[in-house]
Chain A
Amino acid sequence: MKARVTVTLKNGVLDPQGKAIEGALKSFGIDGVGSVRQGKVFDIELSTDDRAQAETLLKAACEKLLANTVVENYRVEIV
């Protein structure tokens, strides 16, 4: 079983990297970019095939390490 965890900054948290990327895109003449927020993606292979168990362990992984919930949100998808 495989999973994808997406970690993004919460709204309102300053994202200087996203701002720099946004500025770069605009300077490259790519029109129509409103704003950019940068995040992280983790592709995780699981040794379990039990969906409920997978969800539990992924939530634990996010809460314990993958996301700093002071400033980040996370989303888990089992693929």
Chain B
Amino acid sequence: MKAAVVLFPGSNREGDAVRAIEMATGRKPQIVWHAETELPAGTDLVVLPGGFSYGDYLRCGAIAGRAAIMDAVRAHAARGGLVLGICNGFQILCEGGLLPGVLMRNKDLRFVCKMQHLRVERADTIFTRAYTKGEVIKVAIAHGEGNYEADEATIARIEGEGLVAFRYCDANGVVGGVANPNGSTNDIAGIYSEKRNVLGMMPHPENLIDPLVGGIDGAGLFKSLVAA
């Protein structure tokens, strides 16, 4: 598993992503600057890390989604290569046309930074096979724009094709209501592309890989990828 982590001006979770990948794979991913036009040869997985690319100017992820490297990321995804976008990375995937929909301002206008339970919607994907279907995991969220919105037809397609990766839930796995931290449609916390080789998610699994910082529920995602 050869991974590359893309660095945009304003990214700030790239170190966390690198640590999580290295812990799972034993191999340090390469950091790739956004102005590059090619990914390192033999890249299996591209990670777009969290942060505030371009200061969230215009719209979150809007400018980064059109960066030079994104043509290479789109080509990589089109070939079936793996792409993981976390938090701002998810916003960049939506703005860059790799995933449908958009992340809007949180419904109550607050930046939310807390621990959050998620329900793993399916465990038969390359990103989640170390989990079980319906498993409840506890990871961190930290975002002001995580309210997933798309038109009705798109939501129907995402749901119909089983492209929801994670939903916000409570500790018992009950989805919706107060367990939804941002007003996201259908409590969506993360979605896959049609072929399930691209995953965008608002929560931060890369921050929950070490018992020292309060849990290891995020490690499963990176363990899932190792076998790839």
Enumerate A61-79 residues with CB–CB distance to B below 8 Å.
Answer: 64-66, 68, 70-71
Provide the main secondary structure of the chain B interface. loop
- Cβ of B101 and Cβ of A70 under 8 Å apart? yes
- Cβ of B58 and Cβ of A70 under 8 Å apart? no
CA distance A65 to B97 in the complex (A): 12
State which of A14, A64, A68 has its C-beta within 8 Å of the C-beta of B107: A14
- Cβ of B62 and Cβ of A70 under 8 Å apart? no
- Cβ of A13 and Cβ of B149 under 8 Å apart? yes
- Tell me the minimal C-beta distance from A20 to chain B in angstroms: 6
Is A35 at the interface (CB under 8 A from chain B)?
no
- Cβ of B63 and Cβ of A65 under 8 Å apart? yes
- Tell me the minimal C-beta distance from A13 to chain B in angstroms: 7
- Cβ of A68 and Cβ of B66 under 8 Å apart? no
Is A39 at the interface (CB under 8 A from chain B)?
no
Is B183 at the interface (CB under 8 A from chain A)?
yes
Provide the main secondary structure of the chain A interface. helix
State which of A16, A17, A20, A65 has its C-beta within 8 Å of the C-beta of B58: A65
- Cβ of B107 and Cβ of A16 under 8 Å apart? yes
Give the size category of A's interface with B: 10 to 19
- Cβ of B59 and Cβ of A68 under 8 Å apart? yes
Nearest chain B residue, comparing its CB with the CB of A38: B105
- Cβ of B109 and Cβ of A68 under 8 Å apart? no
- Cβ of B62 and Cβ of A68 under 8 Å apart? yes
- Cβ of B95 and Cβ of A68 under 8 Å apart? yes
Is B102 at the interface (CB under 8 A from chain A)?
yes
Is B150 at the interface (CB under 8 A from chain A)?
yes
19 of the cross-chain contacts (CB-CB < 8 Å) are A14-B147, A16-B104, A16-B106, A16-B107, A16-B108, A16-B109, A17-B105, A17-B109, A20-B109, A64-B66, A65-B58, A65-B62, A65-B63, A65-B66, A68-B59, A68-B62, A70-B102, A71-B102, A71-B104
Assuming A13-B104, A14-B183, A68-B59, what are 6 further A-B pairs, CB within 8 angstroms?
A16-B109, A64-B66, A65-B62, A68-B62, A70-B100, A70-B151
